[in-house]
Amino acid sequence: MPNIPLAERMRPQTLDEYIGQQHLVGEKAVLRQMIEGDKLSSFILWGPPGVGKTTLARIIANRQNRKFYTLSAVNAGVKDVREVIEDAKRQRFFSTPNPILFIDEIHRFSKSQQDSLLGAVEHGTVTLIGATTENPSFEVISPLLSRCQVYVLKSLEVDDLKKLLERAIATDAYLKQLRFNVEETEALFRFSGGDARKLLNVLEIVVSSFDGSEITINNSVVTERLQENIALYDKNGEQHYDIISAFIKSMRGSDPNAAVYWLARMIEGGEDPLFIARRMVILAAEDVGLANPNALLMAQACFDAVKVIGMPEGRIVMAQCAVYLATSPKSNASYMAIEAAIAQVRQSGDLPVPLHLRNAPTKLMKDLGYHKGYKYAHDYRDNFVELDYLPEAIAGTAFYVPGDSAKEREIKARLEQLWRGKYKM
């Protein structure tokens, strides 16, 4: 087997070799037009691992013949950023395009590190390309984010993975010497999870397990070989999304033992603690909800505490929060309510706001009937008066349907008493 990993040997060198992300780099797509038109501006690539963020940045630098600096937010500091910027300034000439500074995992940069980039990006000393697996709205400071476009990359589809597999077998200098018998690809693609790098790593593991020159690929072979090589498969945190998924599902399923196990796996694997804490905030609202309103307060307090005290002590706070969420009663009624409401908005469009709910700051608006008929709830008994608050076309539609927890049974009883059957719950 070659010393260079298959994923590195198969790294595309041009846009035509690049697989996936056709919404960005396909014919007439926004990034391709920017690249081919030599009108490159700073941007951030947001997407899951193994979808080609780093590769795309390198292709752009090569295509435009620009100097390419690369930093990883895991081990680079403010000093490293400033050294790159100073070097970029020394390289500036009137006829030379400004260099590209690629920062991998930019979400791990602190505020001060991100601040150090602002001047260079604003003045065009460098064109910044950031890569992140986290929502940049939460992780990138507003002044820097306002100077960058954000492009969302998607996990590879089955057709993309099929092309990648076929290309690797047909073009890799080592693999094309072997004979392949591809019977099934479902397990191969399923274990890859839409991650190109993971697919090629799995293929390499399967190939290395055969002594002869004929390689058989089917579901049972792939599953068996991965189980035998699980340590290699877990290398470098490639099960990042699988393990966070197991953690979330364990808390949703009310199993505190499984929750703390998966939490420990992430902690030992060096996972970003704020990534874990943030997911618990989401779960508290999505899966516990009003069955235990204190859950969201607990999760937010956990996030704040971990942010302040850091690790290793933060593990204790996260464990307490995970156990609390796992043992809380569950309800996804609020989550289902907003999903149903969004679906209604998309279906019915911009329905007019009822006149009695509109403000009437001018005489003309009052003459047109704005605010007429509105009843101030606090003027009535129990601070309630029956009134139509939804647009007429969807009056009586129940988006929020209380769950069956003790707390939400109370909510349901009160709503039924107030609205007397107007909303069918």
pLDDT, tens digit (0-9, with 9 covering 90-100), for 117-158: 888 888 888 889 999 988 888 788 888 888 888 999 988 889
Judge if 41 and 141 occupy the same domain: yes
Q: Is residue 15 included in any domain, yes or no?
A: no
Q: How high is the mean pLDDT of the chain?
A: 86
Reply yes or no on whether the pLDDT at 234 is more than 50.
Answer: no
Judge if 385 and 362 occupy the same domain: yes
Judge if 146 and 66 occupy the same domain: yes
Tell me the pLDDT band of 236, cut-offs 50, 70 and 90: very low
3-state class (DSSP) for residue 150: strand
Report d(CA 316, CA 322) in Å as an integer: 10
Q: Is residue 425 included in any domain, yes or no?
A: no
Q: How many domains does the chain have?
A: 4
The domain that contains 80 carries what CATH number?
3.40.50.300
What values do phi and psi take at 194, rounded to 5? 75, 15
Q: Is residue 415 included in any domain, yes or no?
A: yes
Q: Which two tokens stand for residue 82?
A: 């400033």
The DSSP string of 22-60 is HHHHSTT-HHHHHHHTT----EEEE--TTSSHHHHHHHH
The domain that contains 365 carries what CATH number?
1.10.3710.10
Judge if 283 and 366 occupy the same domain: no
Judge if 34 and 130 occupy the same domain: yes
Q: Is residue 309 included in any domain, yes or no?
A: yes
pLDDT over 90, % of the chain: 24
Judge if 342 and 404 occupy the same domain: yes
Judge if 341 and 314 occupy the same domain: no
**Contact present, 195 and 232 (Cβ < 8 Å):** no
Tell me the pLDDT band of 320, cut-offs 50, 70 and 90: very high
Torsion angle of the four alpha carbons 295, 300, 301, 302, in this order, in degrees rounded to the nearest 10: 90
3-state class (DSSP) for residue 213: coil
Reply yes or no on whether the pLDDT at 237 is more than 60.
Answer: no
Report d(CA 213, CA 120) in Å as an integer: 53
Q: Is residue 1 included in any domain, yes or no?
A: no
Judge if 284 and 395 occupy the same domain: no
* Rounded mean pLDDT, 76-89: 86
pLDDT in tens, 256-294: 999 999 999 888 777 788 889 999 999 999 999 999 999
Report d(CA 123, CA 167) in Å as an integer: 42
Judge if 130 and 198 occupy the same domain: no
Domain boundary among 116, 131, 152: 152
Q: Is residue 2 included in any domain, yes or no?
A: no
pLDDT given for residue 231 in this prediction: 44
Q: Is residue 104 included in any domain, yes or no?
A: yes
Domain containing 167 equals 158-233
Judge if 45 and 143 occupy the same domain: yes
Higher pLDDT, 58 or 75: 58
Domain boundary among 152, 183, 213: 152
Report d(CA 425, CA 423) in Å as an integer: 6
* Rounded mean pLDDT, 349-376: 82
Judge if 341 and 413 occupy the same domain: yes
Report d(CA 411, CA 395) in Å as an integer: 20
The domain that contains 321 carries what CATH number?
1.20.272.10
**Bridge partner list, 100:** 68, 127
Domain boundary among 217, 233, 249: 233
pLDDT given for residue 134 in this prediction: 83
Judge if 44 and 132 occupy the same domain: yes
Q: Which two tokens stand for residue 122?
A: 């604003």
pLDDT given for residue 88 in this prediction: 85
Q: Is residue 386 included in any domain, yes or no?
A: yes
Higher pLDDT, 95 or 330: 330
The domain that contains 221 carries what CATH number?
1.10.8.60
Report d(CA 57, CA 104) in Å as an integer: 10
Report d(CA 377, CA 323) in Å as an integer: 40
Report d(CA 239, CA 303) in Å as an integer: 23
* Rounded mean pLDDT, 80-94: 82
Q: Report the range out of 199-203, 298-302, 373-377 with the highest average pLDDT.
A: 298-302
Type of residue at 240: H
pLDDT given for residue 4 in this prediction: 85
Reply yes or no on whether the pLDDT at 239 is more than 70.
Answer: no
Find the angle CA(73)-CA(76)-CA(80) to the nearest 5 degrees. Answer: 130
pTM of the entire predicted model: 0.56
